[in-house]
Structure 1
Amino acid sequence: MKQWVVLSGKGGTGKTSVTAALASLWKTPGVCVDADVDAANLHILLHPENRLREAFIGGKTAVCDPESCTACNQCGELCRFDAITYGHVNRLACEGCGLCVLACPQKALRLTDRVNGNWFEAQSSAGPLFYARLGAGEGNSGKLVGKLREKAREFALRNDSDWILIDGPPGTGCPTMAALTGNDAMLAVAEPSPSGLHDLERLLNLAQNFRVKAYVCINKEDLNTEMALKIRSLCDQRGVPVVGTIPYDPAVVEGARRGLPVVKWPESAAAHALRRLARHLDQLSFQDNEPGERSVAE
């Protein structure tokens, strides 16, 4: 079983559209994971039917018993996060450190589990999908990404899946690191723009740091051929293969508007490019297939 993660140094490069297309084209059994838990959107293109929903407990938060509280505000004076005043807890500011619980002379405070969001196991148009939703203002997205990956891997091993495909979050922060580590390879989706080039370089540095093999796909390549050449030059310097290019295609926009992967328009330029990309990645990541076996739709 191979694990791929699709990432982008910035938002808006087309990462989720590429992930949805690959998941739809690979025909051997696999599992998809939407690791962009702060703003999950892979489900918009894959239309999952939820099979399981579980709460995600990402930490602790302080709770005050008003009957025991004397409003001495010793807790408020000690809290470095300004999360509690006279026993009134600001849940969004509380870090669950427990100092107020230790300091309260009346023992009116306690720590309780904090539900940061929910994660889902679902069946989608491209097969099993694991995704999550964080609550408004909630944190610990890196831990939630780890939980999703753990559950997806358990499912994949139980069902003899051939691959896990992770749609990662944009950027290079904590959730991205949680999505990247431990994968066989990363597909970086880059756009030909100055910010796309800069953020791709940061993403390649991150992959190198975690020793994950990197590949690059240039999306909307024909919008700025000069910048696309600079991306190719960067990849050549870093020894990173450019495994595919996708032209700008209004069919991608139409697909997003209708909530469908662009490969549902099989004669579109983007669909042709994505099928070539899928076949290329299939050869890289499915070395255990029997000779002649096809796992990518023609």
Structure 2
Amino acid sequence: YIVEPLSCEGCGYCARVCPTDAITNENQNVGQWYMSTTKVGSTMIHARLGIGADNSGKLVAKVKNEAKLIAEENHADYILVDGSPGVGCPVVSYLSGANFVVLVTEPSVSGLHDLKRVYMLVKKFNIKAGCMINKADINPQVTKAIEEFLKSENIVHISNLPYDESFTKAMTNGQTIVEYSENTLREMMIHSWNKIKQVLT
């Protein structure tokens, strides 16, 4: 019997239950983690998966552990973890140990559906959550439905962000929207961050 290495997540269960001890586990490098300094001087821990490698959440856990050590060393107030969409193994790893989760959604039927699914997972972890509605002005009806869901579940409504091409232009320039924009968009992002900090204090 041949084990497909790209499909194996390395849980070790097969080796544990094999009655003849015919299976052994070997370490496999599925990715690499890195430490970088951002242009504002803060430390960023990030990782890159190998080609065809599956993200079981172990690499996420490694990145988070390294970030925690550096945060303690530098007496940092916060550790921000950027999670992937969905509700798979990596998302469970992102949520583990979190104090607050910021859910980002868009006003579409699938956006609302996915928001409900991921919030069910957040709720199981007993983590307080907030939500930002991106492109909130493109579908006011669904935006209203999302706002009603947030209210019913006691999720902090952080902000409604409008559709704006400035986000794309900022990315093209290698800037954050706060650096690029001088209009209300900048103020909205600062207000959103202040609201998150307020919840955390």
Task: Give the TM-score band, short-chain normalised.
Answer: 0.7 to 0.9
Alignment of 1:126-205 (within 5 A): 126=40, 127-205=42-120
Q: Are the equivalent residues in 1 in contact too, given 2:9–2:56 (CA < 8 A)?
A: no
Does the alignment pair 1:238 with 2:144?
A: no
Which of the numbers 254, 259, 283 marks the counterpart of 2:169?
A: 254
Which of the numbers 10, 18, 28 marks the counterpart of 1:114?
A: 28
SS at match of 1:168: coil
Does the alignment pair 1:271 with 2:186?
A: yes
Q: Are the equivalent residues in 2 in contact too, given 1:248–1:270 (CA < 8 A)?
A: no
Q: Write the distance in 2 (CA, Å) between the matches of 1:214 and 1:139.
A: 28
Q: Deviation digits for residues 116-166 of structure 1, max 9, x if unmatched?
A: 110011111241101001101112430111111111001111111111111
Q: Write the distance in 2 (CA, Å) between the matches of 1:243 and 1:164.
A: 19
Aligned-pair CA distance for 1:258: 2.4
Q: Which fold has the larger relative contact order, with Cα–Cα distance below 8 Å and residues 6 or more apart in sequence?
A: 1
Alignment of 1:1-298 (within 5 A): 79=1, 82-83=2-3, 91-93=5-7, 97=14, 102-103=21-22, 112-126=26-40, 127-285=42-200, 287=201
Aligned-pair CA distance for 1:110: 7.0
SS at match of 1:133: strand
Aligned-pair CA distance for 1:230: 0.4
Unaligned stretches of 5+ residues in structure 1: 1-78, 84-89, 104-108, 288-298
Q: Are the equivalent residues in 2 in contact too, given 1:222–1:248 (CA < 8 A)?
A: yes
Q: Write the distance in 2 (CA, Å) between the matches of 1:132 and 1:95.
A: 17
Aligned-pair CA distance for 1:269: 3.7
Q: 1:114 to 1:236 in 2, by over 3 A?
A: same
Q: Write the distance in 2 (CA, Å) between the matches of 1:131 and 1:179.
A: 13
SS at match of 2:71: helix
Q: Deviation digits for residues 240-274 of structure 1, max 9, x if unmatched?
A: 12111111111001112223211112324432211
Q: 1:159 to 1:110 in 2, by over 3 A?
A: same
Q: Write the distance in 2 (CA, Å) between the matches of 1:95 and 1:150.
A: 20
Q: Are the equivalent residues in 2 in contact too, given 1:247–1:269 (CA < 8 A)?
A: no
Q: Are the equivalent residues in 1 in contact too, given 2:133–2:161 (CA < 8 A)?
A: yes
Q: Write the distance in 1 (CA, Å) between the matches of 2:153 and 2:85.
A: 21
Unaligned stretches of 5+ residues in structure 2: none
Q: Are the equivalent residues in 2 in contact too, given 1:252–1:262 (CA < 8 A)?
A: yes
Q: 1:143 to 1:251 in 2, by over 3 A?
A: same
Q: Write the distance in 2 (CA, Å) between the matches of 1:111 and 1:184.
A: 34
SS at match of 2:192: helix
Structure 2 residue identity aligned to 1:141: S
Structure 2 residue identity aligned to 1:173: G
Aligned-pair CA distance for 1:102: 4.9
Q: How many aligned residue pairs are there?
A: 194
Higher radius of gyration, 1 or 2:
1
Report the structure, 1 or 2, having the larger helix content: 2
Report the structure, 1 or 2, having the larger strand content: 1
